[in-house]
Structure 1
Amino acid sequence: MTAILTPLVDRYASWLTRPAASAADTSDEDPAEVRAMPVILRIERDPQPDRTALLEAAAAAALAVCLAPEAEGEWHPELRAWVNGRIRKVSRRARGAHWAAVHDLPGVTVEVDGAEARALVPMRVSQTPKEVSRLQISGSELPASAPGPVPAGAPVLWLNPDVPMTAGKAAAQVGHATMLLAALMHASGQHDALENWAALDHRTAVRTPTPAAWAAAHPGADPEAAWRDHGVVAVRDAGFTEVAPGTVTVLARWP
C-alpha cells in the first residue's frame, strides 16, 4: 500500500474529538490552494442506478485513486497536497456524453452491480476543468434501495440513520470512510487483510443500521479504542454542506 494516506492516520483521533465549531474553520487555508477530489456519479434518466450500488462504487473509486500505481508516480504531487490538507470531495452527476467526457481526465472508474462512479485525481477547486464544472452538484437524490447480503470479506459502511443525506453527499462520505479505513489498517500492520480487500476490488457494503446499533458502535470520545478494540472508524464531517459541523456521517467496520 502506498504511504500517501499516512497523514490521515496522524490526524484521525484529534479530528474526531475536536470541538464541532472548529471542524468548519477554514481560516488557515489559502483559497487559491483549496483542493478537492471530484467524484462523478453516473445517473442516467433511465434506468437510474441502484442507490446502494452507486455508493459502493463511489467508496471503492475514491480509495482506488489513492492506491493506483500512478499515486506513487504522476499523480503523487496532487494527491500528497490534497491529503496533507482537508480531504474534500465534491460529488457531481453525469450522464450520456458528459459521463464519457470525464474519462479523458485522470482517475478511476468502478462499477458495482451496474452502477458506475469515477473518482478523479484531486485538483485545485479554482482550476476545475469544464468537463467537471459543467456537471450538476444538486439533484443526485435516488430512491432508497434494499441491498442484499454483505459480500464475504467486505467491510460495512454504516450511514448515520439520523442524518438524511443525498446520494451525492453520502458518496463523498463513504469515500472518506474507505480512505480512513485503509490508512488505519496499514498503520496497524493488517497487510494481509488489505491484500484480501484489494482482491475484492475494495468492495464494501453500504448499509443503514438501526439507531440502537449506530449508538452502540459510535466511538464517542475514544476513537483510538474504538479502532483498536472493535475495528470501527468514524467519518466526521466539517459541515460545509447538508449536515451540521462535527456530524459523524459514516462508521466503517472491518469484518
Structure 2
Amino acid sequence: MRPDYDPLDDPPWAMQLVVRAEKADPPGHGAVCEAAATAVVALLTDPRAADPGGEWREAVREWESRRIRKVARRARGVRWPEAQALPGVTVEHAGAQVRAFPPGPVSDVPPELAKLQVAGLDLAGAEEPGPPTEPPYAALALNPDVTITTGKAAAQCGHAAQLLLRQGGRRDVAAWVGAGAPVHLVGNVPWRRCVQQATVAVRDGGFTEVPPGTMTAVAWIVRR
C-alpha cells in the first residue's frame, strides 16, 4: 500500500473550474482568482447543492467528506460554450469568466472538460480589480513567498472561499453570501498581517506545484 494512501480519498474527487482565457483578450490574474472564489461559493450555495433533495447536494457532500480538491482548466474558442452547456455556475467579474462544476470522481470528468488543458494557465497581473465599493466582502491573500501559476492560485482562492463559507461566523457569512459573495485579492498588505487577521488558512495537499502542507492562501470577511 502506498504511504500516502487515504481510504477516504479512494477514488479521489475534485471540483472542476474552467477559466475562459482567449488569446486575444485574456483576463488578469487577480480577476480570475476572485471570479474563481466567488464561483465556488455560488455553486455551494446554489439550491441545487444546498437544499435538501438538490440534484448536486449528494455530490457535494461526498466530495467534502474526502480530500477537497479543485482542478482549474482553461478554455478558449468553441471550448468555452461547450463547457457552458454543462451543469454548473458561471461568474463574470472584472473581465474574467470562471465556471464551477459539481464535484465528481477525477476518473469520471465529462469529456468536454477532460480535454481542456490543466497546466500552464499563467496570466499577467496588470489592471487588477480594486476592492468592492463597500463591505461585506471576503478578503483573500496569497502567500507571496510561494510561486504558483494562475490556475493553481485560482484553485487556492476557491478553496479559501469554501473554508470561509463553511467555517466563518454565521452572521458574517450570511451577510457576505447575501451580498453575492464578492471577494478581493489583497496585494498591498504584508503577508504576516494577513495571516494574523485571517479566519481560515489553506494548507495545500501537495498534489501539484508546491510541497504538501504549504500555506498558500488565507481569507477573512471584511464587515460593514
**Residue 179 of structure 2: aligned partner:** 200
Superposed CA RMSD in Å reads 1.9
Letter in 2 for 1:78: A
The residue correspondences of 1:56-95 to structure 2 (distance < 5 A) are 56-71=34-49, 72=51, 73-95=54-76
**Residue 117 of structure 2: aligned partner:** 136
Pair 1:177-2:160 in alignment = yes
Q: What do residues 107-164 of structure 1 show as CA deviations (whole Å, max 9, x unaligned)?
A: 1000001210001000111111110110001220011234353212122100101011
Partner Cα distance (2:209, 2:188) in 1 = 20
Partner Cα distance (1:31, 1:155) in 2 = 29
What is the deviation of 1:209? Answer: 4.5
Higher normalized helix content (fraction of residues): 1
What is the deviation of 1:201? Answer: 1.6
TM-score when normalising by structure 1: 0.79
Partner Cα distance (2:219, 2:43) in 1 = 19
TM-score when normalising by structure 2: 0.89
Distance 1:231 1:162, change over 3 A: closer
**Residue 18 of structure 1: aligned partner:** none
Q: Runs of 4 or more off by more than 3 Å in structure 1? A: 29-32
- Partners of 1:173 and 1:249 within 8 A in 2: yes
**Residue 241 of structure 1: aligned partner:** 208
Distance 1:146 1:164, change over 3 A: farther
Q: What do residues 225-252 of structure 1 show as CA deviations (whole Å, max 9, x unaligned)?
A: xxxxx45211110111111111000010
What is the deviation of 1:105? Answer: 1.8
**Residue 105 of structure 1: aligned partner:** 86
Most deviating of 63-72 and 143-152: 143-152
**Residue 13 of structure 1: aligned partner:** none
Letter in 1 for 2:88: G
Q: What do residues 53-102 of structure 1 show as CA deviations (whole Å, max 9, x unaligned)?
A: 11111001111111100013110111110001011001000012111111
- Partners of 2:8 and 2:66 within 8 A in 1: no
Pair 1:167-2:150 in alignment = yes
SS of the residue corresponding to residue 109 of structure 1 reads strand
Structure 1 residue runs of 5 or longer lacking an equivalent are 1-24, 220-229
- Number of matched pairs: 216
- Partners of 1:40 and 1:91 within 8 A in 2: yes
What is the deviation of 1:200? Answer: 2.9
Partner Cα distance (1:139, 1:178) in 2 = 23
What is the deviation of 1:195? Answer: 3.2
**Residue 126 of structure 1: aligned partner:** 107
**Residue 20 of structure 1: aligned partner:** none
Partner Cα distance (1:247, 1:146) in 2 = 28
Partner Cα distance (2:178, 2:167) in 1 = 18
Partner Cα distance (2:109, 2:129) in 1 = 37
- Partners of 1:55 and 1:206 within 8 A in 2: yes
Task: State the identity as a percent.
Answer: 40
Letter in 2 for 1:216: R
SS of the residue corresponding to residue 254 of structure 1 reads strand
Partner Cα distance (1:114, 1:94) in 2 = 15
- Partners of 1:159 and 1:209 within 8 A in 2: no
- Partners of 2:198 and 2:218 within 8 A in 1: no
